[in-house]
Amino acid sequence: MKTFVITTSPIEQSISNYFFELGNCLHQLGNKVIIITDKNRPHKLPKPLDENQIFLSWPSYRPTKIKDFVYFYKICKQFKPDCCITQFGATNLVTVVSKLLAIKDVFVYWHTMFKQLTIDNQGNRFKSMVLLIRKRLILKYFTTHILTNSAENKKDLTTNYQIPQEKITVMPYLIKDFFIDLKFGDDRRNELIISFVARLHKSKGQENIINEMPLLVSKIPNIKLFIIGDGPEKNYLEQLIVEKKLKENVVLTGAISQNKLFNYMYQSFAHISASEEEAFGLVNVEALAAGTPIIVNKVGGIKDILIEGINGYAFNPKQQGDLTDKLMILLKGDWIHYSLNARNSFLNNYLISQENLLNQLKTLESIMQNNKALTKQ
């Protein structure tokens, strides 16, 4: 029996659900699993099935303080983990403590493209430089292996963080089938609904899509675009919608519940992603799960998700008319064929199933065995 520590966000979000399921599968295989969640919001920890399944929470809102360091140090001294899997805000703390205690296997799951980090820190070059140096040191010297969600992110880690390719493995998120009880194979084009789920930020491209809408409306007057999410661009986008006279065709929903979000996706005949950069693009996987073809800017990890002409199409958000052309292909073509392809590409590649989880855990075990062999040399 091995002992694993996994740090992630509270359950009920797609990414954290994935790590909880990974932990459940490890536990079912006879391992001890300790999952530590952050305190981003009040949450109830799941009830453990036995003494080999433990759920904990960091002392702080975000695990970056001395008390979190001491807390994790004590956990590691008590349980003596063979492997730690960490991500997001806990990465620095977990990797440093693991290094101090000589934990054999330390995996960091890396989610974000370098370009997106520079976009988020725009205007503060010094901060970006310091963060880059720190991340390079952590990833290069304090981890035994890096897991990531796409081939493009692997390339990005090698280029911008100087991590050898052999130290990086692509292991995409697996998500639950939120649409398992719904019907597939019906034509949704009569609804004329498009969904677009993203944070309202310049890098996500909502402005480009709204600028395209007058052309699309001229061809399809009843078309309706639902832009789902919240963020700093909200007021500007609201003004742009009024300026373009699109109040009947474009709706900013704001932040909504997951159930409502998935309902919009399921009703749509297409889902749009116009991000400048995207390490993975989880919302596109969720759209595929809904049987909704995707029209995407083919950047970053989206390249792994899109199968051109099968489950959707690529477009250039800055090329006027390109989105309209691709949507017209969906409207005039065999939409049910695209929809079923979308659904099947999700089931085959991104569904949290026992088979897919076991395949990923075989990959982890192989990496750990390889690390062990290298240590002995």
| Tens-digit pLDDT profile for residues 214-266 | 999 999 999 999 999 999 999 999 999 999 999 999 999 999 998 999 999 99
377 pLDDT above the threshold of 60 = no
- Predicted confidence (pLDDT) per residue in 79-109, tens digit: 999 999 999 889 999 999 999 999 999 999 9
Q: Are 43 and 97 in contact (CB under 8 A)?
A: no
**Dihedral angle at the C-alpha atoms of 210, 215, 218, 222, nearest 10 degrees?**
-30
**Residue 137, H or E segment:** helix 125-141
362 pLDDT above the threshold of 90 = yes
What structural domains does the chain harbor? 3-174+352-376 (3.40.50.2000), 193-349 (3.40.50.2000)
Residue-level pLDDT at 40: 63
Residue-level pLDDT at 330: 95
Question: How does the average pLDDT of the chain come out, rounded?
Answer: 91
> Within the chain, what is the greatest distance between any pair of CA atoms?
69
SS3 of residue 249 by DSSP: coil
Ranges 130-134, 200-204, 289-293: which has the least confidence: 130-134
Instruction: Please report which confidence band the pLDDT of residue 304 belongs to, taking 50, 70 and 90 as the band edges.
Output: very high
Ranges 75-79, 293-297, 299-303, 310-314: which has the least confidence: 299-303
Edge to edge, what strands does the sheet with 193-197 contain?
A: 250-254, 224-228, 193-197, 270-273, 294-296, 312-314
Residue-level pLDDT at 215: 96
Residue-level pLDDT at 57: 92
Instruction: Please report which confidence band the pLDDT of residue 44 belongs to, taking 50, 70 and 90 as the band edges.
Output: confident
